[in-house]
């Protein structure tokens, strides 16, 4: 089908089912369809506008195919990864991004690089996602908008065989059986208010864990975006900013390149009162072009009548969680499979440690990873599913539990209160920017209580079922984040422990986590538990 289906049926069959609607999901759908698979893509929102890419201006890790340049880029990234990245994966995504991004030119108006060539690496998010939607439809992908997935389906042998969900506009359940399933649901921002992230609630993490998948790198999850306090724009460049308190006193805030020290200084100041940013010293070339390169940035200022390059304005740190963090479902092989048969993970739904290690990939590496992991998994899932077309379909059952099947009596759940509690344990400045054993242990107790409440009493169908599953996914994700941060008793990359301010060489290993009622952790390299 080469257009969006206007009247989806309750039950369908596909070779490849892709859950999610952002950059990685779109690239995966295109690759799978180009490989000859029948592809269905389902998303909570509208594919082309949902997710954090559509509201930003992502750059891609972009290095010409010169061996020396590529080697230098990989070596620099390896150093930033602090022992957790892999050179082969880095080289691989550089190559895939270089080869495939220009192929979108039919649908996206790439601009000039000012040197007689084309500028490919930086894109305007809204137009980029619109182009990816057009390319997916052209490739024959069936796109089902406003079709959130609620749970994965699996055969008796444990192989994932599709998903079940709810069509928001039609008000009916849907069920899709597939030869291979790709989770492309993005990361989890824990409803921090980060623009574009409202639907990024960790759904794929929960569904994957219910199927038995492992997660990795969840401790690398403390990342913030500095934005105007009333509207998270995600993209405003603050490298030339100076900061003041409400009384007009300049604050001593280290530059943004100082990483967590910069964020700690801002967090400390924000806990004392409002902080104002001053961009009067921004480069003269920036104001005239900002509306073109970052179209979502100037609008909130214009609505308030603020000249952002001449007037001071209040700012806030909006938590990005695993959206700009590193963690996600563990990648088990070169084809982006998880540790569960029939299930793949891409983009922010997957761990990015292979290409970023302990440090955030920011837009550049994370964007290249979304494109490349999508292409890799899409092609591999198509090949696997096509090979299974002649196999007799096996009976399948839903894997979801929390929010769907309470273990005790059904009681009303104050979802809004739980969402605030969960988000607070992850993003509260004091708890997040100064992680320490005492606060992490207390947070884990609070989050375990939230999970227990949901597991024992939450039950919903239709829209309420979708919402309860989102809260359950955030609770589960927060528990994995907190448990992993507690076990990694060191400071490495995005994982900052105030009670362990240096890196422990013995912990130069990826940390795995998982489990539902009982969260577990273990280092990928055996024998490191004693170091924790």
- Give pLDDT, residue 298: 86
Which is more confidently placed, 469 or 5? 469
Are 252 and 313 within one domain? Answer: yes
- Give pLDDT, residue 233: 76
Confidence grade of residue 529 (pLDDT, cut at 50, 70, 90): low
Question: 83-138 pLDDT, tens per residue?
Answer: 999 999 999 999 999 999 999 999 999 999 889 999 999 998 999 999 999 999 99
CATH number of domain containing 437: 1.20.58.100
pLDDT mean over 5-23? 80
Residue 205 CA, distance from chain mean position: 10
Q: Chain-wide mean pLDDT for the chain? A: 93
Whether residue 6 is contained in a domain is answered as no
- Give pLDDT, residue 516: 97
252: helix, coil or strand? coil
Q: Which token pair is 363?
A: 């837009």
Confidence grade of residue 363 (pLDDT, cut at 50, 70, 90): confident
Confidence grade of residue 293 (pLDDT, cut at 50, 70, 90): confident
Q: Which token pair is 242?
A: 């100076």
Residue 8 has pLDDT above 50, yes or no: no
Q: State the residue range of the domain holding 269.
A: 226-317
Q: Which of 232-236, 297-301, 426-430 has the lowest mean pLDDT?
A: 232-236
Whether residue 4 is contained in a domain is answered as no
Q: Which of 252-266, 299-313, 403-417 has the lowest mean pLDDT?
A: 252-266
Question: 157-194 pLDDT, tens per residue?
Answer: 999 999 999 999 999 999 999 999 999 999 999 999 99
- Give pLDDT, residue 528: 62
Give the C-alpha separation, 523 to 55, whole Å: 36
Phi, psi torsion values for 182, nearest 5 degrees? -115, 125
Are 113 and 199 within one domain? Answer: yes
What 8-state DSSP symbol labels residue 472?
A: H
DSSP string across 12-64: EEEEEEEE--SHHHHHHHHHHHHTT--EEEE-SS-TTTSSSSTTS--B-----
Are 308 and 362 within one domain? Answer: no
Are 285 and 426 within one domain? Answer: no
Please name which of 124, 131, 143 lies closest in space to residue 44, comparing C-alpha atoms: 143
- Point out the domain boundary residue: 283, 317, 351: 317
Give the C-alpha separation, 387 to 381, whole Å: 10
Residues 6+ apart with CB under 8 A from 476: 202, 205, 206, 209, 402, 451, 516
Question: 476-510 pLDDT, tens per residue?
Answer: 999 999 999 999 999 999 999 999 999 999 999 99
| Number of domains, the chain | 3
Are 60 and 138 within one domain? Answer: yes
The fraction of the chain above a pLDDT of 90, given in percent, is 83
Give the C-alpha separation, 64 to 76, whole Å: 15
Whether residue 132 is contained in a domain is answered as yes
Whether residue 265 is contained in a domain is answered as yes
Are 233 and 281 within one domain? Answer: yes
Question: 15-56 pLDDT, tens per residue?
Answer: 999 999 999 999 999 999 999 999 999 999 999 998 889 888
Are 203 and 262 within one domain? Answer: no
Residue 6 has pLDDT above 60, yes or no: no
- Give pLDDT, residue 4: 45
Are 361 and 390 within one domain? Answer: yes
The fraction of the chain above a pLDDT of 70, given in percent, is 96
Whether residue 424 is contained in a domain is answered as yes
Q: Which token pair is 35?
A: 């490989």
- Give pLDDT, residue 2: 38
Q: How far is CA 13 from each of CA 48, 126, 147, 218, 470, rounded to the nearest angstrom? A: 24, 31, 15, 33, 25
484: helix, coil or strand? helix
- Point out the domain boundary residue: 276, 296, 317: 317
CATH number of domain containing 284: 3.90.700
Which is more confidently placed, 57 or 251? 251
Sign of the alpha-carbon torsion through 193, 199, 204, 210? positive
Give the C-alpha separation, 23 to 15, whole Å: 20
Alpha-helical (H) ranges within 344-427 are 353-356, 362-387, 415-427
Whether residue 5 is contained in a domain is answered as no
Residue 80 has pLDDT above 60, yes or no: yes
HSE, CB side, 13 Å, CA atoms: give it for residue 165.
30
Confidence grade of residue 520 (pLDDT, cut at 50, 70, 90): very high
Residue 294 has pLDDT above 80, yes or no: no
Phi, psi torsion values for 136, nearest 5 degrees? -65, -45
Are 143 and 208 within one domain? Answer: yes
CATH number of domain containing 330: 3.50.50.60
Are 295 and 333 within one domain? Answer: no
Residue 297 has pLDDT above 90, yes or no: no
Whether residue 187 is contained in a domain is answered as yes
Q: Which token pair is 326?
A: 């590193």
Contact 220, 321 (CB under 8 A): no
Are 504 and 394 within one domain? Answer: no
Which is more confidently placed, 508 or 362? 508
- Point out the domain boundary residue: 274, 295, 317: 317
Residue 77 has pLDDT above 60, yes or no: yes
Question: 368-404 pLDDT, tens per residue?
Answer: 999 999 999 999 999 999 999 988 778 899 999 999 9
Whether residue 208 is contained in a domain is answered as yes
Q: CA-based angle 328:50:485, to the nearest 5?
A: 25
Are 383 and 311 within one domain? Answer: no
């Amino acid at each position: 089908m080469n257009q969006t289906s206007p009247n989806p049926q309750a039950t369908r069959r596909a070779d490849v089912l892709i859950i999610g609607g952002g950059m990685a999901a779109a690239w995966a759908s295109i690759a799978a369809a180009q490989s000859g698979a029948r592809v269905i893509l389902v998303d909570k929102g509208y594919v082309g506008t949902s997710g954090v890419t559509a509201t930003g201006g992502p750059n891609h890790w972009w290095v010409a195919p010169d061996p020396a340049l590529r080697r230098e880029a990989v070596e620099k990234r390896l150093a930033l990864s602090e022992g957790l990245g892999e050179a082969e994966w880095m080289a691989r995504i550089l190559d895939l991004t270089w080869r495939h991004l220009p192929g979108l030119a039919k649908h996206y108006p790439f601009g000039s690089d000012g040197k007689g060539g084309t500028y490919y690496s930086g894109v305007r998010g809204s137009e980029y996602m619109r182009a990816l939607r057009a390319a997916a439809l052209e490739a024959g992908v069936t796109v089902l908008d406003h079709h959130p997935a609620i749970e994965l389906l699996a055969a008796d042998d444990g192989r994932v065989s599709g998903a079940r969900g709810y069509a928001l506009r039609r008000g009916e359940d849907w069920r899709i059986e597939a030869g291979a399933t790709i989770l492309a649901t993005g990361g989890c921002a824990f409803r921090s208010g980060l623009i574009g992230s409202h639907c990024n609630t960790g759904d794929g993490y929960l569904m994957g864990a219910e199927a038995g998948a492992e997660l990795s790198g969840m401790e690398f999850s403390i990342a913030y975006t500095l934005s105007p306090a009333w509207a998270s724009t995600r993209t405003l460049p603050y490298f030339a900013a100076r900061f003041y308190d409400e009384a007009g006193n300049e604050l001593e805030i280290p530059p943004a390149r100082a990483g967590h020290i910069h964020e700690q200084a801002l967090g400390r100041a924000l806990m004392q009162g409002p902080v104002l940013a001053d961009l009067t010293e921004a480069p003269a070339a920036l104001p005239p072009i900002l509306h073109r390169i970052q179209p979502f940035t100037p609008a909130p200022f214009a609505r308030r009548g603020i000249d952002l390059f001449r007037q001071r304005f209040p700012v806030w740190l909006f938590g990005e969680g695993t959206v700009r963090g590193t963690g996600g479902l563990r990648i088990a092989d070169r084809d982006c499979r998880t540790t569960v048969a029939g299930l793949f993970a891409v983009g922010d739904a997957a761990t990015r440690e292979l290409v970023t290690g302990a440090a955030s990939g920011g837009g550049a590496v994370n964007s290249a990873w979304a494109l490349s992991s999508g292409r890799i998994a899409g092609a591999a899932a198509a090949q696997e599913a096509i090979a299974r077309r002649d196999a007799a379909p096996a009976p399948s059952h839903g894997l979801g539990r929390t929010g769907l099947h309470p273990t005790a009596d059904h009681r009303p759940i104050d979802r809004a209160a739980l969402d605030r509690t969960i988000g607070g344990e992850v993003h509260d400045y004091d708890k997040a920017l100064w992680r320490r054993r005492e606060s992490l242990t207390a947070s884990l107790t609070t989050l375990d209580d939230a999970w227990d409440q949901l597991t024992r009493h939450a039950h919903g169908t239709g829209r309420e079922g979708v919402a309860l599953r989102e809260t359950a996914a955030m609770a589960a994700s927060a528990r994995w984040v907190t448990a992993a941060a507690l076990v990694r008793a060191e400071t490495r990359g995005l994982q900052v422990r105030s009670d362990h301010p240096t890196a422990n060489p013995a912990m130069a290993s990826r940390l795995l986590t998982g489990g539902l009622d009982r969260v577990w952790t273990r280092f990928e390299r055996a024998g490191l538990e004693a170091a924790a």
